[in-house]
């Protein structure tokens, strides 16, 4: 059996040993063209988020049986094509019990919140340009803001715990009717959007959630409101959001994700990136929320062991 690791940088040593117990392991990193050349005799593909595994890859990977991806989102894989070809995708999707102990996305969300509200990047650039005017960067304490958590799953619940520590009032909106009786639940999306000061997005990307946030509901946010996104870029209508920021209909955005973020051409034309070049109240990081050593090692190990259990069944 042959396995290929597309992005081996900082891959856990013990996790590599696990793979090597069962398979002959080849390692990248690969350009797109190199990946297409390398997958021809591969049985198992171990990926992160650096490649899109699509029809072109599947046509070259004639022997591929498994894709291991230590991610909850699967928009970097043409899942339907994999299913049609009988390829098993092993991921973190739905692994709530395990993921409850992985705090990296929630931690990064909180870092983005503090950086945005306390204007930290802009203040840093201000000092690097030879200035020292603290009055330009006055802000409010976090308890001044009402936090709105969109999606009250694993990460949403972790964010709520952080809010309690910082004494921030918070509410959440979730389409799960089982959560309606929660004291912090708001059942109506319009009402939810109207009453919050910070919108923190934690919904999964699926067909229903593509552009879930759009002109029809973003308009209910206060012009003083901020948005945080550590979900997926595709859950929000980016051109609409960029226009609202340029028109000062929102106070700021901090996002770790963009729609079609892997494509350099897409990033070149991305409306949020172009707006961020002109505005100090937009922070964009390159999908690093889950990129802590501990989280990456633990999630790699989890999907590898999950795969091994399938082989032994």
Mean pLDDT of 70-84: 93
* Mean pLDDT score of the chain: 96
Task: Note the pLDDT tens digit of each residue in 200-247.
Answer: 999 999 999 999 999 999 999 999 999 999 999 999 999 999 999 999
Task: Note the pLDDT tens digit of each residue in 246-268.
Answer: 999 999 999 999 999 988 999 99
> What share of the chain in percent tops pLDDT 90?
96
Whole-angstrom Cα distance, residue 155 to residue 203?
9
Task: Note the pLDDT tens digit of each residue in 155-172.
Answer: 999 999 999 999 999 999
pLDDT of residue 313: 76
Q: Are 262 and 51 in contact (CB under 8 A)?
A: yes
Report CA-CA distances (Å) from 296 to 10, 84, 98, 129: 9, 29, 13, 36
Range of the domain at 253: 104-280
State the CATH number of the domain containing residue 111: 3.40.50.720
One domain for residues 237 and 126: yes
One domain for residues 167 and 300: no
One domain for residues 72 and 208: no
One domain for residues 55 and 113: no
Burial 41-75 (b: 16+ CB within 10 A, else e): ebbbbbbbbbbbbeeebbeebeebebbbbbbbbbb
Establish if 226 belongs to a structural domain. Answer: yes
Half-sphere exposure of 148 (CA within 13 A, CB side): 24
Establish if 302 belongs to a structural domain. Answer: yes
Mean pLDDT of 86-110: 95
Task: Note the pLDDT tens digit of each residue in 99-156.
Answer: 999 999 999 999 999 999 999 999 999 999 999 999 999 999 999 999 999 999 999 9
pLDDT of residue 86: 96
One domain for residues 115 and 181: yes
- The total number of structural domains in the chain stands at 2
One domain for residues 121 and 260: yes
Q: How confident is the model at residue 173 (pLDDT cuts 50, 70, 90)?
A: very high
pLDDT of residue 95: 94
* 308: pLDDT strictly greater than 80: yes
Establish if 203 belongs to a structural domain. Answer: yes
Establish if 96 belongs to a structural domain. Answer: no
The predicted model scores a pTM of 0.93
Among 94, 61, 99, 63, residue whose Cα is nearest residue 78? 61
Q: How confident is the model at residue 294 (pLDDT cuts 50, 70, 90)?
A: very high
pLDDT of residue 223: 98
Task: Look up residue 87 and give its DSSP letter.
Answer: P
Strand order in the sheet with 2-5: 24-27, 2-5, 44-46, 66-68, 88-90
Establish if 10 belongs to a structural domain. Answer: yes
One domain for residues 128 and 269: yes
Establish if 222 belongs to a structural domain. Answer: yes
Count of Cβ atoms closer than 10 Å to residue 108 Cβ: 22
């Amino acid at each position: 059996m042959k396995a290929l690791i597309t992005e081996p940088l900082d891959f856990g040593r013990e996790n590599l040993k696990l793979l090597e117990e069962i398979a002959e392991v080849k390692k990248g990193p690969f350009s797109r063209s190199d990946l297409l050349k390398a997958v021809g005799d591969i049985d198992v593909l171990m990926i992160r988020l650096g490649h899109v595994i699509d029809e072109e890859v599947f046509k070259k990977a004639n022997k591929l049986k498994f894709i291991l991806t230590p991610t909850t989102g699967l928009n970097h894989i043409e899942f339907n094509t994999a299913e049609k070809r009988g390829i098993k995708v092993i991921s973190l999707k739905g692994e709530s019990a395990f993921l409850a102990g992985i705090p990296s996305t929630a931690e990064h969300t909180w870092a983005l919140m503090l950086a945005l509200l306390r204007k930290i990047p802009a203040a840093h650039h201000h000092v690097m340009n030879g200035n020292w005017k603290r009055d330009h960067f006055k802000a409010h304490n976090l308890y001044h803001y009402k936090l709105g958590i969109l999606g009250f799953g694993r990460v949403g619940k972790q964010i709520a715990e952080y809010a309690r520590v910082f004494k921030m009032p918070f509410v959440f909106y979730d389409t799960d009717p089982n959560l309606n009786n929660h004291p912090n639940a708001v059942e109506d999306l319009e009402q939810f959007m109207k009453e919050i000061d910070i919108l923190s997005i934690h919904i999964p990307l699926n067909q229903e959630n593509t552009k879930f946030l759009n002109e029809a509901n973003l308009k209910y946010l206060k012009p003083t409101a901020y948005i945080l996104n550590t979900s997926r870029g595709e859950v929000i209508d980016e051109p609409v959001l960029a226009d609202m920021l340029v028109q000062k209909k929102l106070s700021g955005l901090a996002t770790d994700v963009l729609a079609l973020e892997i494509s350099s051409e897409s990033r070149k034309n991305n409306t949020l990136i172009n707006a961020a070049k002109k505005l100090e109240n937009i922070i964009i990081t390159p999908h690093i929320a889950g990129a802590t050593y501990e989280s990456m090692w633990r999630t790699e190990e989890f999907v590898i062991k999950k795969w091994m259990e399938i082989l032994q069944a």
